[in-house]
Structure 1
Amino acid sequence: MFLKTYRFLTVLLAPLFDYILARRVKQGREEEARIDECRGVAGRPRPECAALFWVHAASVGESQSALRLIHDILARYADAQVLVTTGTVTSAKLMAQKLPERAFHQYYPLDRPDWVDRFVAHWRPDFVIWMESELWPNMLRALAARDIPAVLLNARLSERSGKRWGMVKSAARTLLQTFSMIFAQTPRDGQAFEALGARKVVVSGNIKYSALPLPCDQDDLDDLKASVKGRPVWVYASTHSGEEALAMQVHQRLQTQYPDLLTIIALRHPHRRDEVVEICQEADLAHCVRGEGKSLPGEKDHIYIVDTMGELGLFYRLAPIAMIGRSFSDDGGGGHNPIEAAQLGAAVLSGAHVRYQQEIFDEMKGRGAAKILQKPDELYDALYHLFGHEDALAALQLKGADFVAAKDGILQHVEDRLWQLTDDAFNKEGKKAE
């Protein structure tokens, strides 16, 4: 009943979808030039290839995790190509920079039946890999109707989502059985999917641990190191509204002990640059905006505002300490991926409100690989301690890097299972890379 009602409403309210897209364009949350892709209109022809994989990764975190898998798919299947879909402008820009040859990006269509059918009819994927927790009924119905093999990879299900789907358990079972296998991040996730009626669930771990290290341009890193010239530096990574003001308050307190301190604020959403510049001006803090011209901070700049995409790898290599954003409040909190920073040798700090990354942070905390702060006031104390105690800073950096390195084999374990499914789905001869 739920699925029939959902489909009926998405047909009945079809004009609303265009209104939603128009509003998102006005807000800068969609690319106007590519808006038809959100309606299922392809931005390019389907490639002539032996097999077309479709990898769907909703936003930046999921798409970053998928990159190594995409490389491995293309290495295994020499004549294959990979369609990658995401749902945000930020992730689209990231994919434009990082996708390898034979992989290309399109925006994911809104879940309106005719748009979904148009998308699937054009691309006709041979194998589908969805990342984490996206369950769109009309799209899954379209895949099942065409008998297209699909898996749910790095799957997670929050307690809240589990309860919601539990209220429509029959519908959840129908949707989940579209996937021939679900690779769950944790035993709790696996049990939750099984309780909803999933066909086959494997607890595989979190492939974020096996993601490729964030890249950086070595010349850019050398330029920044020369510009910083040994100044104490830290980065507040992937900041959201309210966190920039906190960073500046902490900076001003630390300045009494470290007058040449440089605070790097890397925005999660670059379009907020002007808002953050205004906060700097109100705080009377000299600042520099990186911008597309890659401006460098001068000796008198206290705050370095990073409004570019795909450069966190640069700043995790530059700054010995990384505070991870969106983690101090239940309202809008949830945390961001700490693995990328730890992998590159930065000491990881985070607030305690990290429900989207809870298992990762719990394990890192237990291993001494990250320091969890209960409230914003503790950020000053943590930075003051680490800047003043090189041994404590080095220990936190080392434990973080070792923690991630010890889990690097998770993706290989997943791929061993995945290749069994993909090899069965295709005529393997002639498609596997030599």
Structure 2
Amino acid sequence: MANSLGLTLYGMSARRETVAAPEPAPPRPAGRLIWLHAPQADDARSMAELARRLLHEDGHPVLLTCGVPVAPIPGVIIQPPPPDTQPDARAFLDHWKPDIALMAEGELRPALLLEARARQVPLLMVDGRAPHFQRERAGWYPGLVRSSLACFQYVLVRDEAAARAFRKAGATPTQIKLSGRMEEGSAALRCTEAERAALARVISTRPVWLAVGLPPAEEDAVIAAHHAALRLAHRLLLIIVPQDPSRAGELARRMEEAEGWAVARRAADQEPDAETAVYIADTASENGLWYRLAPITFLGGSLYGSGCLTDPLQAAALGSGIIHGPRPGAYGAVFGRLGAARAARLVASANDMAEALGDLLSPDRAARLAQAAWSVASDGVDVTDRVLELIRRTLGED
């Protein structure tokens, strides 16, 4: 099979440009090593969550490879995938010697897959959408898609459309399992419960909304929306997490002098008392606290900025309804899911934001939006559980 026409042509398609030598790989850890591969950032989110659970629940070392940069995950080895040539595949597998490998989405790396199967490494496809080669290696290679798919013991797909795509490409009915989407790494951000309870007592029954990751370009829009909403709910409190905390002082002075609002700042140990119209949260890493206190969140950067600056699922996981602009940044797929579930409000202007905020000041409407968002954020937990069970069964650990 290694000398098939398809694989030969595929090998000839590899780029022959001169590239810098890769950095030496870290040592292989002792014990059973689980190898996870995610082609793109969206896939990396669900694989990162799987990696965390494997490490914490089973204690296995985990290697995660991804074609794009991935944020560090404590305890998980993160490496770029090897070039998909037979020599590179052999060197990679010689070094890491994985006990099982899971590939996400549907990307096929024939040289690596065929070499892994020759070494009897169990292979699973998870979160499958459609089989394909790497974009730069796209082409027609006789029989290579089918022989690559034959390497997998199971192909777990998101939906029936994905199942049809894999069947059409040559996967057998016994391989394909309709599983659904895996859980993404959107676990609820932590906060100090004593802090939350204390601020909740101070805020009491006041309505609250949050602008998180707010860039200077969107300050006017948020101020205008707050002005409009105060006509409907005069006790409304706005919490602002500025993109740049160093702007907090200037922003506070502007709103106090130009808008006539009472402003308090977190960094100055001030509290949002009954007269405070705006509370500036200019301290680091407390978004978990603000999402718990605010039933409505505007995601900064998504209206006039360079793109959304914070993960929408973090707000969704904590029951905060989402308002966002048309610029998703790195979260296009997430916003697509939220939109399909009617779990977020898309606004295109400052006027739209004011209208959406006014509408969501109705507690029942905000609650429906937040519930739908929470459902999206928690989607896939059962699927990840089943993938973990399949890994354990394949490794004989059931």
- For normalisation by structure 2, the TM-score amounts to 0.68
Q: Any stretches of 5+ residues in structure 1 without a counterpart?
A: 19-35, 97-102, 238-242, 267-272, 287-293
Counterpart position of 2:337: 360
Alpha-carbon distance, 1:41 to partner: 2.4
Instruction: State the one-letter code of the partner of 1:42.
Output: A
- Alpha-carbon separation, structure 2, partners of 1:411 and 1:150: 17
**Residues 204, 40 of structure 1: alpha-carbon distance in 2 compared, 3 angstrom cutoff:** farther
> What corresponds to 1:207 in structure 2?
182
Distance 1:135 1:335, change over 3 A: farther
Q: What letter corresponds to residue 233 of structure 1 in structure 2? A: W
- For residue 154 of structure 1, report the CA deviation from its aligned partner: 1.6
Alpha carbons 1:74, 1:81 under 8 Å: kept: yes
Q: Which residue of 1 aligns with 2:238?
A: 261
Name the structure where helix makes up a greater proportion of residues: 1
Q: Secondary structure in 2 aligned to 1:409?
A: helix
Spell out, residue by residue over 1:208-239, the C-alpha distance to the aligned partner (whole angstroms, 9 max, x if none): 27x673331426964994899568332457xx
Structure 1 pair 328–255 and aligned structure 2 pair: CA distance change class (3 A):
closer
Q: Does 1:150 align with 2:127?
A: no
1:41 maps to 2:24: yes
Question: 1:177-230: CA deviations, max 9, x gaps?
Answer: 333222111222222222222342222111227x67333142696499489956
Counterpart selection for 2:162 from 189, 196, 214: 189
Deviation at 1:9, TM superposition (A): 5.0
Instruction: Look up the SS of the partner of 2:338 in the other structure.
Output: helix
Change in Cα spacing, 1:355 to 1:226, as seen in structure 2 (3 Å) is closer
Structure 2 gap segments, 5+ residues each: 231-235, 256-265
Q: Verify: 1:322 aligned to 2:293, yes or no.
A: no
Amino acid at match of 1:12: R
Report the TM-score, using the length of structure 1 for normalisation.
0.63
Q: Give the match's secondary structure for 1:263.
A: strand
Deviation of 1:414 after TM superposition, in Å, equals 4.0
1:106 aligned residue: 78
1:12 aligns with 2:44: no
Report how far residue 392 of structure 1 moved.
Answer: 1.9
Equivalence for 2:34: 53
Equivalent AA in structure 2 for residue 346 of structure 1: S
1:329-344 mapped onto 2 (5 Å cutoff): 339-344=313-318
Which residue in 2 is equivalent to 1:393? 366
CA distance in 2, matches of 1:249, 1:7: 56
| Partner residue in 1 for 2:64 | 84
Q: Deviations over 1:279-337 (max 9, x none)?
A: x9899968xxxxxxx957967977657886xx7545433432234688789xx989997
Give me the whole-angstrom Cα distance separating, in 1, the residues matched to 2:139 and 2:290: 42
* Partner SS for 1:256: helix
State whether residues 108 and 148 of structure 2, in contact with CA within 8 Å, keep that contact through their aligned partners in structure 1.
yes
1:335 to 1:149, Cα distance in 2 relative to 1, 3 A: farther
CA distance in 1, matches of 2:283, 2:142: 45
1:58–1:87: 8 Å Cα contact kept in structure 2?
A: yes
1:100-179 matched pairs, under 5 angstroms: 103-111=75-83, 113=85, 116-157=89-130, 170-179=143-152
SS of residue paired to 2:190: coil
Distance in 2 of aligned mates of 1:68 and 1:306: 27
* Deviation, structure 1 residue 410: 3.1
Task: State which drifts further: 343-352 or 59-68.
Answer: 59-68
